[in-house]
Structure 1
Amino acid sequence: MAQLDTFHHTVKKALQKDGWRITDDPLYLQYGGIDYAVDFGAEPLIAAEKKQQKIAIEVKSFLAGSPTYEFHKVVGQFFDYRMMLSRIQPERILYVAVPSDIWRSFFQMPFIREVLEEVHMKIAVYNIDEEKIEKWID
């Protein structure tokens, strides 16, 4: 089983509070001889609210010593997971969940913003203390 990120359960509760039903914990993906486990697969509890959208969420804590190194890893994961999803579950939209303090600091740096735009990374900003999703960045 994949190693759980520090805030895995926090994000799970936050998604549920935001009206999502967790369908997979983790969401296993397999294609072309490669296996991945994205932290969550989710669908809206009330389909009319979120237009039958299905999402996959990869949770990140950014607690390691270097946020730059962590970001480098997550960009690679995001690219790989999104590419695999496009082949086997194209209806599912991939998001990376990041803590609100990291979003307000590290993720606002000009180069980081440029990378996010270049790779079209979608972000779910979560509040650790309140266990809630503060914003969805498309």
Structure 2
Amino acid sequence: MPAKDIYHDTAKNALIKDGWVITNDPLTLQWGKKDLFVDLGAEKLLAAEKQGQKIAVEIKSFVGLSEVANLEKALGQYTLYYDILQRLEPERKLYLAIRKETFSDIFEEPIGSILLENKRLRLIVFDSIEEVILQWIP
């Protein structure tokens, strides 16, 4: 099993505060002979529905030397997990969880905004100090 991101517990706490129940830590995806590990699986029951929403969350800190290299790696993981989840659990939506600083540094710049414009990924933006979700970008 891979090491947890440095903001794993922070993002997990923010999701819990937002009303999500953590169902998997990590969420294991078995594909062929390979096991992949998405950081979290969570579920939220909606008052009007008997079944709730299900999400998978990959948490990334973006604290390496190169923001572009971090983005490339995160996108590669996200794409792989997305494609496998579409086959195994199509009702579960995949999100990339990032700190508000990362959102500002990358996704408010042209290199990240093009990904959002083209709907390449879903984001959860969280405050790493307050441990709260600031924004959901579907």
Q: What SS does the aligned partner of 1:48 have?
A: coil
Which residue does 2:40 correspond to in 1?
40
Q: Percent identity?
A: 42
Unaligned runs of 5+ in 1: none
TM-score (norm 2): 0.93
Match runs of 1:46-65 below 5 Å: 46-48=45-47, 52-65=52-65
Deviations 1:71-122 (A, max 9, x none): 0001100100000000101110000000001102221111221134446200
The one-letter code sitting in structure 1 at the alignment partner of 2:14 is: A
Flag the 1:105–1:23 CA change in 2: closer, same or farther, 3 A.
Answer: same
Q: Residue 115 of structure 1 aligns with which residue?
A: 115
TM-score normalised by L of structure 1:
0.93
Question: 1:30 & 1:117 partners in 2: Cα distance?
Answer: 31
Amino acid in the other structure paired with 1:26? P
Q: Determine which structure has the larger helix proportion and give its number.
A: 1
CA RMSD in angstroms comes to 1.6
User: Which amino acid letter does the alignment assign opposite residue 57 of structure 1?
Assistant: V
Q: Which runs of 5+ in 2 are unaligned?
A: none
- Which SS does the other structure have where 1:105 is aligned? helix
User: What residue number does 1:25 align with?
Assistant: 25
Corresponding letter in the other structure for 1:47: L
